[in-house]
Structure 1
Amino acid sequence: MSGYAISVNTGIAHLVLTRPKAGNALVAGFWNRLAPEIAALDRTGNVRAMVLSSEGSIFCAGMDLGEFAGGIPDPDSPAARESFYHLALSLQETFSCLERARFPVSAAIQGACLGAGLELAAACDLRYASSDAYFRIEEVNTGIMADVGALQRLPKILPEPVVKEMAFLGRSLGSIEAAKHGFVADVADHAAGALHMAMTAAQRVCEMAPVAIAGSKAALRWARDHSVPDALEWSARTQSALWSTQDIAASLQARRSGTLPEHEPLLPKASFGL
């Protein structure tokens, strides 16, 4: 059991968490399967945007604590701790794959977004929330440090004092405050409204030149973690590689005629020997 389903329609992938009775808590199947599936979607070049949503009244309650039914992991030797390190890296990759994908990922969030659920949302490019949504670094309330992205990504988006209160005090951040600080792009009255916003964003992305979108996402990710001069150098080199007179001409013609442009598609990621 993975606890999610993915469908693709007209270039938009829709990932839905499907365990509403369990608060859409993330089970082992989710952690083991998601990264390879996202990589496969990204490899084809056919997906232009992704929307992430969930069934029920709760977006995601975090990691399913039932995974610890056999006992809480207790790496009690150097070899066991070295092995545990690789487990942590594997869990981090589950969300980092969304950040690295060539297509933008928009999340529609309702109700509780806790722990690993918050870290999942933080790895998305855009977040839209219902008015009842709230966000919390839940790990600190269970005696552990958050380790799959909250403490690394949130400080790049939210003010440092807000993140520290969430990390040290287990403070919840409501949707309105989250929007005020820029973590949430917009707030809807209800879950359906948030999903509509996310889908509308995805549809708009699909009207853009795929190479330009992929390059923009990569440039933003690079700039986040590098100095302005380094990021400008990277951007100049990348622009020289991605510049498409065909896409520019198609965009200008579409603007004049009031129609949708026909852009060059992304190609599948190249593989050696294939």
Structure 2
Amino acid sequence: MLTKTHECFDVSIEDRIAHIRLNRPQAMNTMNKAFWNELPEIVRDIDVNARARVIVISSTGKHFSAGMDLSVFAGGEKTGHDRYILAEALRSNIKRIQETFNCLEEARMPVLFALHGGVIGGAVDMISAGDIRWCTKDAFFSIMETNIAMTADVGTFPRLQRYIPEGWVKQMAYTGMRLPAATAKEIGLVNDLFDTQEEMLAAVMDVARQIAANSPLAVTGCKALINYGRDHSTADTLDYIGVWNAAMFPPPHMAEAFKAREEKRPADYPDLAPLRTTPM
């Protein structure tokens, strides 16, 4: 098992499953400056180097995350510039922060979230960029930004309404309310509820093992095509599926799948190839 500790995260990789845990429970796992740098570094390393076939993200302490750490807002004052120049710089900074969660959606392998306690503010942005979510019965979700006189800006609005009805997104955003776990399941934000974090993690890891046992090429194809279909017309998506399968339909992998079933053993599939990090 490969393990590594960062300022904001613990990372372990075992049986082709990468488990990323938020590890600042004393600070309610708020998202400080290190968080925004470490998360994309961790996820892109797993993705680019094909270190795992699925990523699970969970947390420690009382809450999954209380959202943005106030220290992120400190020290950004620039003197000698008018407000229009400062506004343009802020827009660029927001875009860089948004890219931190984009890496979850862009990763070739599925990203699964195991949630408990408060999932607040930036944490809602974060989980919206994942593939599947589960939570404990004590969990709640809040677009907290409205309550501190700002508008959520790191991914909640373009992504959350893909999973839940627009009316619920608007009610959460306009009021800053706490959405309870039972309602989150009812409207489709999470797949299931659990009494304890231990029970939830066991179930999520079971799903992760099922994913890891399948062909990585087929799984990444599913993620790519589902995400493409979400953002494009049916006709465009069907055409893209045809192009994908024309290029990457794998008869040897299928033969291995059938042989493994016949022999009643796990199939042995090749991992995804590492990606280039430079043009040449």
Give the TM-score, by structure 2 length: 0.92
Q: Work out whether residues 78 and 86 of structure 2, in 8 Å CA contact, stay in contact via their aligned partners in 1.
A: no
Question: How far has the Cα of 1:35 moved from its partner?
Answer: 1.3
Mark the runs of 5 or more structure 1 residues left unpaired by the alignment: none
1:21 maps to: 26
2:44 maps to: 39
Match of 1:91 among 97, 102, 109: 97
Question: How far has the Cα of 1:2 moved from its partner?
Answer: 3.5
Q: Is residue 2:229 matched to residue 1:223?
A: yes
Change beyond 3 A, Cα 1:32–1:270: closer
Question: How far has the Cα of 1:73 moved from its partner?
Answer: 8.6
Cα deviation code 1:18-66 (max 9, x no counterpart): 1111111111001122213311211112310011011112101001123
Residue identity over aligned pairs, in percent, reads: 34
Alpha-carbon distance in structure 2 between the residues aligned to 1:88 and 1:39: 20
Q: Is residue 2:166 matched to residue 1:165?
A: no
SS at match of 1:79: helix
Alpha-carbon distance in structure 2 between the residues aligned to 1:182 and 1:152: 16
Equivalent residues, number: 274
Map 1:1-150 to 2 at 5 A.
2-70=7-75, 76-150=82-156
Question: How far has the Cα of 1:272 moved from its partner?
Answer: 5.3
Alpha-carbon distance in structure 1 between the residues aligned to 2:123 and 2:200: 16
SS at match of 1:47: coil
Q: Work out whether residues 105 and 126 of structure 1, in 8 Å CA contact, stay in contact via their aligned partners in 2.
A: yes
Q: Work out whether residues 188 and 194 of structure 1, in 8 Å CA contact, stay in contact via their aligned partners in 2.
A: yes
Q: Is residue 2:205 matched to residue 1:199?
A: yes
1:265 maps to amino acid = D
Question: How far has the Cα of 1:77 moved from its partner?
Answer: 2.7
Q: Is residue 2:264 matched to residue 1:258?
A: yes
Question: How far has the Cα of 1:157 moved from its partner?
Answer: 0.6
Change beyond 3 A, Cα 1:237–1:214: same
Change beyond 3 A, Cα 1:259–1:3: same
Question: How far has the Cα of 1:82 moved from its partner?
Answer: 1.8
Map 1:174-189 to 2 at 5 A.
174-189=180-195
Question: How far has the Cα of 1:264 moved from its partner?
Answer: 2.1
Q: Work out whether residues 8 and 38 of structure 2, in 8 Å CA contact, stay in contact via their aligned partners in 1.
A: no
1:160 maps to amino acid = E
Cα deviation code 1:197-255 (max 9, x no counterpart): 22111111110000011111011111111111111111111111111011111111222
1:19 maps to amino acid = R
Q: Is residue 2:269 matched to residue 1:233?
A: no
Question: How far has the Cα of 1:256 moved from its partner?
Answer: 2.2
Question: How far has the Cα of 1:182 moved from its partner?
Answer: 1.4
Q: Work out whether residues 246 and 263 of structure 1, in 8 Å CA contact, stay in contact via their aligned partners in 2.
A: no
Between 227-236 and 5-14, report the one with greater CA deviation.
5-14
2:29 maps to amino acid = N
Q: Work out whether residues 52 and 107 of structure 1, in 8 Å CA contact, stay in contact via their aligned partners in 2.
A: yes
Q: Work out whether residues 33 and 71 of structure 2, in 8 Å CA contact, stay in contact via their aligned partners in 1.
A: no
Mark the runs of 5 or more structure 2 residues left unpaired by the alignment: 1-5
Q: Work out whether residues 48 and 275 of structure 2, in 8 Å CA contact, stay in contact via their aligned partners in 1.
A: yes
Give the TM-score, by structure 1 length: 0.94
Between 109-118 and 197-206, report the one with greater CA deviation.
197-206
Alpha-carbon distance in structure 1 between the residues aligned to 2:99 and 2:69: 18
SS at match of 1:56: coil
SS at match of 2:247: helix
SS at match of 1:92: helix
Change beyond 3 A, Cα 1:260–1:216: same
1:7 maps to amino acid = S
Alpha-carbon distance in structure 1 between the residues aligned to 2:209 and 2:185: 22
